[in-house]
Amino acid sequence: MSASDPSETLAVHCANGVQRYNPTLSFPRERSLRSVEAMLNNAKIIAFVATTDAAKSRAFYEGVLGLAPTLEDEFTIVLDANGVEIRIQKVQTLTLQPHTQLGWSVISLEEVVRALRAKGVVFESYPFMQQNALGIWTAPSGAKVAWFKDPDGNLLSLTQPTTRR
């Protein structure tokens, strides 16, 4: 692939459609591996979660959690979560994991838990953890955490850190 031939580009799919990308033009060979690694440090992260029922999932993430949809096609639902793109992948089968799939940092965990409970969200209770009546656990660091599931059973969490960054 030559840098001077724009026809030698890769199709990159993004929320706004397909864009053309020529890696030779974007990343000259003389750039060190260190500068390539730094690119990811400055890149926005995209979060992924899967669903077997797109309609239920969209209703939950949009209607209950309040995330704004930006795109939906046959493969995914894309939502905006305070500038972070969440891609809900439409899958035929889903293998649930016992750990958190997505999490949010919140200022007032009790307030958010109460608001979500009012919308029908059920918070997880774990017998091996000391959680309060709302299902909130206080970590040794002082951070407070509560867990709940989406309609597919993906484990989600809310965290109130000890200090805001």
Domain that holds residue 30: 10-42
Is residue 4 assigned to a domain? no
Is residue 143 assigned to a domain? yes
Statement to judge: residues 117 and 87 lie in one domain? yes
| CA gap 71, 79 in Å, rounded | 7
Q: Taking the model in full, what pTM does it have?
A: 0.76
Statement to judge: residues 60 and 135 lie in one domain? yes
Per-residue pLDDT of 22-55, as tens digits, reads 555 555 555 566 676 677 888 899 999 999 999 9
Statement to judge: residues 69 and 97 lie in one domain? yes
Is residue 141 assigned to a domain? yes
Residue 152 DSSP code = T
Per-residue pLDDT of 55-80, as tens digits, reads 999 999 999 999 999 999 999 999 99
Statement to judge: residues 152 and 87 lie in one domain? yes
Give buried/exposed letters for 62-92 (b at 16+ CB in 10 A, else e).
eebbebeeeeeeeebbbbeeeeebbbbebee
Is residue 64 assigned to a domain? yes
Per-residue pLDDT of 96-147, as tens digits, reads 999 999 999 999 999 999 999 999 999 999 999 999 999 999 999 999 999 9
CA distances to 13, 102, 108, 163 from 143, in Å: 38, 17, 11, 8
